[in-house]
Amino acid sequence: MKRTLTALGILFGTLLALFLFALFYYLGVTKGISLDAKKLVLETGRMAVFDAEENPIEAASLEKDVPYEEFPPYLPKAFVAVEDKRFYSHHGFDLRGIGRALLKNIRSFSFREGASTISQQLIKNTHLSSEKTLTRKLKEFKLTRALERRYTKNEIMELYLNSIYFGHSAFGIGSAASFYFGKNPSALSPAESAMLAALVRSPNRYSPFKDPQKCLARRNLVLSLMKEQGYIGEEEYAAALSEPLPASPSEKRRESSYLSLVYDELSDLFPGAGTAYLASLRVFTAYDPALQSVLEEADTGSDVSLFVRSVEDNAIKAYHTTAGMVKRLPASTIKPLLIYGPAIEEDFISPATAVLDERTNFSGYMPDDAGGATGDYMSVRYALSRSVNIPAVKILNSMGVDRGAGYLEKMGMPVPAEDRTLALALGGMREGFTVKQLADGYATFSKGGMFAPSAAIQRVEDGRGRTLYKRDMPSRRVFSEETCFLMRDMLETAAREGTAKRLKSLPYFVGAKTGTAEGEKGNLDAYTIAFTSEDVVAVWAGNRDNSPVDATGGGVPANLAKRALETLYRERTPKELPVPRGVEKLMCDKETYKTRHTLVLSDPVAPPIEGFEEWFKESARPKEQSTKYSHPTIETPTISVKNGCVTIKLCQAEYYSYLIKRENRGEVTTIYDGAYCHDICDNSVRAGERYRYTVIPLYKGHAGEPVELPSVQIKEASPSLPEDWWQD
C-alpha cells in the first residue's frame, strides 16, 4: 500500500510539474501578445514593389472591406463547407480536427498537419507568420480565444473574407470577385462562391488561369461538400456543376501581367503567409517599364503572350499576356531543345549532316512538311533554319524519344509518358509548355549550356529593410559549350535567311526559331523565340479557346519579337560570345557531299570552289579526308582505234591536267601534256604496230597514280583495186 501511494505521489508530482512547466512556458511565450483590432482590417493602399532601378511600381490596390450584409448566403457557407465545417458550433478550435492532426504529427514527428479553423486562419493572416512551430501555435491559441470572445461568428467571417489572398494580386473578397468575375461579392453565384473557396488552400495551384482542370475539380469538391452539409439543394448543385470557370481576368479589373507574376512568386516564396504579412513586404524585381509598355502595345487580333528574360541573372524583365501563363502546344519551337541540341551534344549529328527529306512511315506515323516533302537530301542546318519536319522526325526516331525528352526534363520541361511519341518532334502533346518554360530552355544556349529558371523577384525586404530573401538559383548543366555554339550558329541562320528572317535587319547576333501549330480549321498557335547573348524574347499568338488565328510563327510573332529586341538594345549592342575551344570550322568536299551525301574533309590543296565550310565539334569532325587533289585519281579512260587513229576518252575531273605517254618497241613518247580535254587523238601510229598508253592525272604539281590502258594493235591497211579495174 505504501509503495502504491508513493508511486501515485511521484506520478502526481510529475504531472503537476509538467503542467506548471507548460503553463509558465505558455505564459512566457505569449507574454505581451494581444489582439489588435487594427490588424484585423487590411489598410487600403498599395504594396511596395520596385523595378530594376528600384523605382516604385504602381501595384495592386487593396479594395475596401465588404460588409457581411452584402454577402450572398452561400458565399460564407462555401468557405465553412471546405475550411471549417464546425465553424458555427466551436469556440475557435475544432477539437476533433486537432485530435486527428495531433495523431498524424506524432507519427511523423513534425507539425506538418494542422487543423486550423477559420478563426485561427484569420489570426494567422493578420497577426502571425506562417512558420509551423509550437511557439507560433501557442500565440495563435491565445489570440484566437481573444478573437472569439470579442467578435461574433458573422463578424469573424466578414474579417476573414476581407483578409484572404486569392492569388493574382487579389487581396480580399472584393478584389477577388472583381478580378475573377467582374462582379461585386453580392452578385456571386453558388459556383463562383465555391471557386473562390477552392482557391484558399493554394491560389497558385488552383488558379483557373493556370490549371483549369485542378481548379474545376477543387470547385466541384466544394460544391459537393456544400450539398452534403445542406447549404445547397440538388437542383442548385446540378446547375452549379455545369457553370463554366472564368476563361480570363475580368476587363473590369485586368491587372498587370508582370505584377501578377510577382504576386504568384511571392506566394511561393512565403507559402501560407498571412495577407497582412505579404502586404508589408518590400519586393524588388527586374521590371523594365519601357519594355513592358512596348509589350502591352501588342495588337494581334488574338490572345498573345510576350515574355522577356535575361540570360546572365535569369531575371524576368517584362511580361504581358491576355490569356494567362497557359500551357500550349510548342509546335516547332521544341525542335532545338528536344532534337537538334541533344543530337549534337551526343555527336549523333553535326550542322552539315545530310538527311533525306522523303515521306516515311514510322509504324503508322507519317509526318509531312508544310509544303510537302522535297525528296532531296538537305543539311541539318537547312532543315532547322527552314523548319522542315521530316528530317527532325527522322533524327528523333534514330536518337530515341526518351533520350530527347530527358534533355527537356533537365530544362524544367517534363514530358509525360503518353506524350513520348514521334509526334513530339513537331510539338504534338496533350498540354504543352508555357512561354516561360520555352524562354528558359532557349536561354540555355546563350548561357553556355547551364540551365536555371527565370524569376521576376530578385530580393525581398521587410518594413525595416532587412533582407528576407535574395535570389540565388543554382544552375545545372544540360549542354556543352560546344553544342551551344553550334545551336546558336544554326539558329542565327534561321534568323538571317530562314523562317525567322524578319529579324535579319538587326545589327547584332540574333538566334531564333519559329513554330506554327495547325488544327483542323486553321492555325492554333504561332511562336517566335528569339535570343541574343544577353536576353531571350518569347512570343506566342493564339486564342485561349482554341479558335483559329490568322498568324504564323514567322509573321506577327516575329515582328513583335523584333520590336522587343529593338527596345532592349535601343542604346547599346549585346556583347559577342566567343568561339569556345573544341569547335572548329572545316572545309568539306562538295562533290562527295552531293553524290554520296557523306561528309569528307576537303583535300588541303583543293580549289576553294570545290568545298564548303561548316562548324564541327572536335569530337564529331569527319574522319575521312579527300586526297583527290594531292593524290589525283581518275576512272580508267576508254581507248579505241578507228581508221588508223587511237582515241582516248577522259571520263572526269576537268580540274586536272593530264600527261599521256605511249610506249612502242621500248620507246616512250609523250603524246599529250595539258588541260582536260574529253577526247585525245593519236594519229601518229603505224599500221601493224602494237601500242600501250599510260594516263597520269596532275594537279598543281601533284601527280596521281599512272593508269595503264589496254594495249591496242593497229591493223594493216587492206590492198585497194584501181577504179577502172574492170577495163583491164
User: What is the C-alpha to C-alpha distance for residues 413 and 613, in angstroms, rounded to an integer?
Assistant: 35
Task: Name residues whose C-beta falls within 8 Å of residue 584's C-beta, 6 or more positions apart in sequence.
Answer: 615, 616, 618, 621
pLDDT (average), residues 482-497? 98
Looking at domain 291-568, its CATH class is alpha beta
The CATH label, of 3.30.479.30, 3.30.43.10, 1.10.3810.10, 2.60.40.420, for the domain at 46-284 is 1.10.3810.10
Name the residue type at position 34: S
Q: Tens digits of per-residue pLDDT, 544-554?
A: 888 999 899 99
Q: Tens digits of per-residue pLDDT, 271-292?
A: 777 777 777 789 999 999 999 9
CATH code assigned to 638-713: 2.60.40.10
Structure confidence at residue 602 as a pLDDT band (50, 70, 90): very high
pLDDT of residue 102 exceeding 60: no
User: Which residue has cell 501515485?
Assistant: 8
Residue 348 or residue 610, greater confidence: 348
pLDDT of residue 726 exceeding 80: no
Residue 136: per-residue pLDDT: 60
* % of the chain at pLDDT higher than 70: 85
Task: Note whether 75 and 161 are within 8 A (CB).
Answer: yes
Residue 139: per-residue pLDDT: 63
Q: Tens digits of per-residue pLDDT, 645-686?
A: 999 998 766 788 999 999 999 999 999 999 988 899 999 999
* % of the chain at pLDDT higher than 90: 60
pLDDT (average), residues 240-252? 84
Residue 26: per-residue pLDDT: 47
pTM of the model: 0.81
Name the residue type at position 337: L
Here the contacts of 235-241 (C-beta below 8 Å, separation 24 or greater) are: 236/190, 239/190, 239/191, 240/189, 240/190, 240/191, 240/194, 241/191
User: What is the C-alpha to C-alpha distance for residues 507 and 714, in angstroms, rounded to an integer?
Assistant: 71
pLDDT of residue 724 exceeding 60: no
What is the overall mean pLDDT for the chain? Answer: 87
Residue 112: per-residue pLDDT: 46
Structure confidence at residue 17 as a pLDDT band (50, 70, 90): low
Q: Tens digits of per-residue pLDDT, 421-433?
A: 999 999 999 999 9
Residue 127: per-residue pLDDT: 67
Residue 268 or residue 27, greater confidence: 268
String of DSSP letters for 579-594: PPTTEEEEEEEHHHHH
C-alpha R_g of the chain? 39
User: What is the C-alpha to C-alpha distance for residues 307 and 171, in angstroms, rounded to an integer?
Assistant: 25
Residue 327: per-residue pLDDT: 92
Residue 488 sits at the vertex; the CA angle it makes with 484 and 491, to the nearest 5 degrees, is 135
Residue 629 sits at the vertex; the CA angle it makes with 628 and 632, to the nearest 5 degrees, is 60
Of 27-41, 191-205, 370-384, 434-448, give the lowest mean pLDDT range. Answer: 27-41
Of 118-122, 346-350, 463-467, give the lowest mean pLDDT range. Answer: 118-122
Question: Domain-by-domain residue ranges, the chain?
Answer: 46-284, 291-568, 583-620, 638-713
Task: Name residues whose C-beta falls within 8 Å of residue 478's C-beta, 6 or more positions apart in sequence.
Answer: 407, 410, 411, 444, 449, 450, 451
pLDDT of residue 619 exceeding 80: yes
User: Which residue has cell 569528307?
Assistant: 600
Structure confidence at residue 247 as a pLDDT band (50, 70, 90): confident
pLDDT of residue 34 exceeding 70: no
Residue 51 or residue 97, greater confidence: 51
551-567 per-residue burial string, b: 16 or more CB within 10 A, e: under 16: bbbbbbbbbbbbbbbeb
pLDDT (average), residues 287-308? 93
Residue 599: per-residue pLDDT: 96
Residue 410 sits at the vertex; the CA angle it makes with 404 and 413, to the nearest 5 degrees, is 80
Of 120-129, 207-216, 335-344, give the lowest mean pLDDT range. Answer: 120-129
Residue 1: per-residue pLDDT: 61
pLDDT (average), residues 220-241? 93
Q: Tens digits of per-residue pLDDT, 353-391?
A: 999 999 999 999 999 998 899 999 999 999 999 999 999
